[in-house]
Chain A
Amino acid sequence: MADKVLMKGNEAIAEAAIIAGCRHYFGYPITPQTEIAAYMAKQMPKIGGTFLQAESEIAAINMVYGVSSAGKRVMTSSSSPGISLKGEGISYLAGADLPALIVNAQRGGPGLGGIQPSQSDYFQATRGGGHGDYHLIVLTPASVQEMAELTIKGFELADKYRMPAMILADGTIGQMMEPVSFDFEVAPQIEKPWATTGTKMERKHNIVNSLYLDPATLEVKNIERYERYKIVEENETMYEEYMADDADIVLAAFGIAARVAKSAVNEARKQGIKAGLIRPITVWPFPKAPFKKAVEHCKAIISVELSMGQMIEDVKLASEMKVPVTLTSRVGGMIPTPNQILEDIKKAAEGGR
């Protein structure tokens, strides 16, 4: 194991992207993710890569579209208001079956909102965010180490399935410092025979496109894409279970909320309450299996979120509401304390149902 370095989560994403072979980064300044651009601005020129500050998030995502069309690994990062602007481009990436990595260090919304951490872009990320039928692979790191690991994973999955992937992080993990190891195995990049790199007069022209004026053709394109999504759901769903096996009260939480939830689980166990945690690591595809298993033995599920209750809808679907599913949350940049969660665990354990 190589040495660990102390790093901010945002910087870990940037370094991991470079390790993954990403040589093109486009962004537009917004808090709380500016460290990614700053890191890229410093490193890219040293390794023959491209860092470009675009005129807007719209331009940045379309530059990503261009590099991806040409078959190269490429990324952009932003925070909530900027991701909304990227929505158009993300839909086009999905429609043209282009891989790319998009980082959203979420902040409170709606509108200009605030600059403190949030998870209120869950719907936007897991339901696509732009127009049309599509999904992104959405990865939710809960530590600086995972910021790095899931960045590599994001590039690999995006290329493999020809679809954009998103790191759905938040301001806290982005700016928190933790030791991180970059001792990864990076798989060799796959061939992209579909890329527009010039025909070299050796093949028929490649076309990158999302326009299909014939409805029957467009329907087939959509159905084929969803068949691919099904394979992603079967093979790439990721989650962590923490003391969930015998739990009476199961918490569901991702990212920074999962860290607080874990502390609450530990405290509850100390007080003799059998609490556990299911932490989705991919929120699309959403891990349904652990919830199906949990409802066989638990009394209640609590979705712990930094939103007014977004992931809870997926938790309800996955658990088929076989036990009560409630929400514990703070919003606007506020974070629930382990105590707040513990109180709700106690209430649920006392059979508030």
Chain B
Amino acid sequence: MVVFEKPKALTDVPFHYCPGCTHGIVHRLVAEVIDELGIEGKTIGIAPVGCSVMAYDYFTCDMIEAAHGRAPAVATGVKRADPENHIVFTYQGDGDLASIGMAETVHAAARNENITIIFINNAIYGMTGGQMAPTSLPGQVTQTSPYGRNTDLCGWPIKVCELLSELDGPEYLERVTVNSVAHVRQAKRAIKKAFQNQIDNKGFSLIEVLSSCPTNWGMTPEKALKWIDDAMIPYYPLGVYKDRSAQKKEA
């Protein structure tokens, strides 16, 4: 019999996420990886401004709440304060990472800062009530694109993994999702690799997770998971966008 236990790296504080929101699944995966790698005691997590702002209450490791979009800069400081003894991760939404914090993201990647970023792409500003995100799809209806995202007026979605993959800096970039058991397994492998890379001093790893927001997408949890397959994955293909160590081996 398989006993489904709560990972040790999660506190007893109940998640505040909406029913069907995949933020919770990703938290769980991060916590499982922290447990499996035995790094809880040296890990410092950085929460964003967004629906996951309270992540500092959910993880048992030391936690820091950063200003909106600034988590990669805060992580840079924490890591450099004691590179030998700190494992540092940020957990950020798409508004946080790809809009207001784009400069911090790109430059942390360019420096190959030895940190791990978990990037939740839910194509929406969840916390503020469903505004258009830099990742909202063309035609997507949001509170601030009530007639659908018009790319003539507000431009095109930002594909973060593709964008960062053009830089020489980053070590590892992968896009995953968590809308099925198979996808969850792959997401966990990716997250584990992103932490292992840091332990091995390989540098910047970012895992983009296509995530659901049934509340602000105006969908049932089931429909939201299906929308990831039908609308998000075609625009944001899953896969590894950069793996420098593997590239080196091939060469």
Contacts and interface: CB of A to CB of B under 8 A. Distances in A.
B60 interface: yes
A198 B62 contact: yes
B56 interface: yes
A48 to B, nearest CB: 11
B80 A52 contact: yes
Interface in B9-54: 11, 40-44, 46, 53
A58 B102 CA distance: 12
A89 interface: yes
Contacts of A74: 77, 81
Given A24-B77, A197-B82, A66 B64 contact: yes
Contact of B65 (A26, A197, A209): A209
Given A26-B77, A197-B82, A59 B104 contact: yes
Interface size grouping (class) on chain B: 35 or more
A52 B76 contact: yes
Contacts of A208: 63-65
B56 A209 contact: yes
A199 B78 contact: no
Contacts of A70: 44, 77-78, 81-82, 86
Given A70-B86, A207-B63, A63 B73 contact: yes
Given A52-B80, A62-B66, A198 B86 contact: yes
B107 interface: yes
B175 to A, nearest CB: 24
Contact of A66 (B63, B78, B85): B78
B41 A66 contact: no
Contacts of A52: 76, 80
Contacts of B56: 207, 209
Nearest to B87: A198
B41 A200 contact: yes
B204 interface: no
Given A89-B70, A197-B82, A67 B77 contact: yes
Interface in A262-319: none
A62 B78 contact: no
Contacts of A220: none
Interface string B132-174: 0000000000000000000000000000000000000000000
B45 to A, nearest CB: 9
A59 B81 contact: no
A62 B62 contact: no
A196 B73 contact: no
A206 B40 contact: no
Contact of B64 (A50, A64, A69, A201): A69
A131 B46 CA distance: 22
Given A67-B78, A74-B77, A199-B61, A88 B67 contact: yes
A134 interface: no
B105 to A, nearest CB: 10
Given A55-B107, A56-B103, A207-B56, A96 B65 contact: yes
Contacts of B73: 54, 58-60, 62-63, 65-66
B75 interface: yes
A137 to B, nearest CB: 21
Interface string A203-234: 00111111100000000000000000000000
Of the candidates A52, A63, A200, A209, the one having the most CB atoms from chain B within 10 angstroms of its own CB is A63
B89 interface: no
A200 B42 contact: yes
B41 A201 contact: yes
Contacts of B67: 62, 65, 88-89, 92
A96 B64 CA distance: 9
A263 B89 CA distance: 56
A107 interface: no
Given A24-B77, A66-B75, 10 more contacts: A58-B73, A62-B70, A63-B76, A66-B81, A69-B77, A197-B44, A198-B43, A198-B61, A198-B87, A209-B63
Interface of B: 11, 40-44, 46, 53, 56-57, 59-67, 70, 73-82, 85-87, 103-104, 106-107
Closest 9 CB pairs of A and B: A66-B77, A62-B73, A70-B81, A196-B62, A63-B77, A55-B107, A62-B70, A66-B74, A209-B65
24 contacts: A24-B77, A24-B80, A54-B107, A63-B73, A63-B74, A66-B64, A66-B73, A66-B74, A69-B64, A70-B86, A72-B81, A74-B77, A74-B81, A88-B67, A89-B70, A196-B64, A197-B44, A197-B82, A199-B41, A199-B61, A205-B59, A206-B63, A209-B63, A210-B65
Interface of A: 24, 26, 50, 52, 54-56, 58-60, 62-72, 74, 88-89, 92, 96, 196-202, 205-211
